[in-house]
Amino acid sequence: MGLTFQLIPTLFCLLTCTSDVVQGQRRICQTSVKEIIHTANSLIVKKFPCFEMEVPDIFEDTKNSSTPKLSPVESSCSQLVMTMNDFETLCRAVTVLQQVSSSCTLPKINNMLRNLMYLVNQTKCPVNETKIIKLQDFLSKLKTVNQKIFSKSSFRE
């Protein structure tokens, strides 16, 4: 009987602490998404070097894509990026921005890349390079995807 009373505070603490860790992780992930949105927006509203650079359009319909499907299992933010389509899009965005950052040295691009890498926890994702768009359009679409992810995550809190 005495053992049960000793276990209650321990179990309560474990449940509370685990909940705080999950909520803390979600906040960190949401912050990354917000930073991506803010950075993309600041780059879109003003012309910047590499503005007209051509990049692969990763936002085309991925259902019929021949590229391999990816899984968010190892992502630290998998509870935030819930759909496979969103995860694949963000993962492919990492690959595209890695290519962009090698020829366009903008700190904001590198910050966005760092946040995306944190969200998906992968650095190499297959990209279909048959369809091309301008970097500015790429950033605008990436911002839209992240706004959708952020709005979904706000409802789950």
Set out the domains of the chain in order of their start, with CATH numbers.
25-62+74-155 (1.20.1250.10)
Structure tokens at 143: 């911002």
**pLDDT at site 126:** 86
Q: pTM to 2 decimals?
A: 0.74
Average pLDDT of the chain to the nearest whole number: 77
For the segment 68-96, what is each residue's pLDDT rounded down to a tens digit?
A: 555 555 556 766 666 778 888 999 999 99
Arithmetic mean of pLDDT, 7-22: 48
Residues in Cβ contact with 108 at an 8 Å cutoff, skipping those fewer than 6 apart: 39, 42, 43, 48
**Burial category of 87 from C-beta neighbours within 10 Å (exposed 0-12, middle 13-18, buried 19 and up):** buried
Query: Residue 82: which residues within 8 A CB-CB, separation 6 or more?
Result: 72, 152
| Residue from 132, 144, 137 nearest 36 by CA | 144
The encoded tokens of residue 15 equal: 């449940």
Residue 68, judged by CB atoms within 10 A of its CB (0-12, 13-18, 19+), counts as exposed
Beta-carbon contacts of 86 under 8 Å, excluding residues fewer than 6 positions away, are 145, 148, 149
Q: Check pLDDT > 70 for residue 154.
A: no
